[in-house]
Copies of this chain bind each other. A is one copy, B any other.
């Protein structure tokens, strides 16, 4: 028997997306978004939900671009900080000591210290209650050389990303690889 918990936003896992944008004066900002995910394979697209009252919202609506930087566990403090405080109250790059780098492809800043970065142009906005979903076309993915495996693709064990748990507001590390997708299911 399952117990009903009501209409809640509980799934596992949710990501820790650090969303980068510039304001009209060119000041870089970042926020922490757990409401998001990949939303199409072609064009490669990622969705991020942002409330209209966020500083990031106005930035993305004006610049039509954003980045998503994926932090390693060693930067969990910085990632959490940018989810607590608003860019309206100060420069979060300066407060955290993180380094903004202008995207190569889009007008948005990413976090130099984080190992994986997506540069996105805004393709669509979707109103869903209190959140606006920004759908970004992924124009480029870039990664630190030292997180690539022998095939040149990002290795989760080297990136050491972490996830957000909505039920207990915990950050959880990624654990061990348990199986290969599109393979282990054929054993049945």
Q: Which residues of A are at the interface with B, using a C-beta cutoff of 8 A? A: 1-15, 17, 34-47, 49, 68, 70, 73, 76-85, 95-96, 104, 116-118, 123-124, 126, 128-131, 133, 135, 137-145, 148-149, 152-156, 159, 161-188
Pairwise interchain contact A10-B141, C-beta atoms closer than 8 A? yes
Q: How far is the CA of A167 from the CA of B135 in the complex (A)?
A: 21
Q: A13-B15, A38-B14 are in contact. Are A78 and B47 (CB under 8 A)?
A: no
Q: Which residue of B lies closest to A142 (CB)?
A: B2
Q: Contact check: which of B14, B41, B96, B143 meets A2 at CB < 8 Å?
A: B143
Q: How far is the CA of A136 from the CA of B174 in the complex (A)?
A: 27
Q: Which residue of B lies closest to A148 (CB)?
A: B3
Q: In the complex, what residues of B have CB within 8 A of residue A5's CB?
A: 140-143, 152-154
Q: How far is the CA of A76 from the CA of B184 in the complex (A)?
A: 8
Pairwise interchain contact B40-A35, C-beta atoms closer than 8 A? yes
How distant is A84 from chain B, measured CB to nearest CB, in Å? 5
Task: Give the residue among A45, A79, A164 with the most B Cβ atoms within 10 A.
Answer: A45
How distant is A139 from chain B, measured CB to nearest CB, in Å? 6
What are 14 A-B contacts defined by CB distance under 8 Å? A2-B142, A4-B104, A4-B142, A5-B141, A10-B116, A10-B141, A36-B39, A40-B129, A43-B128, A43-B129, A124-B128, A153-B167, A171-B179, A175-B176
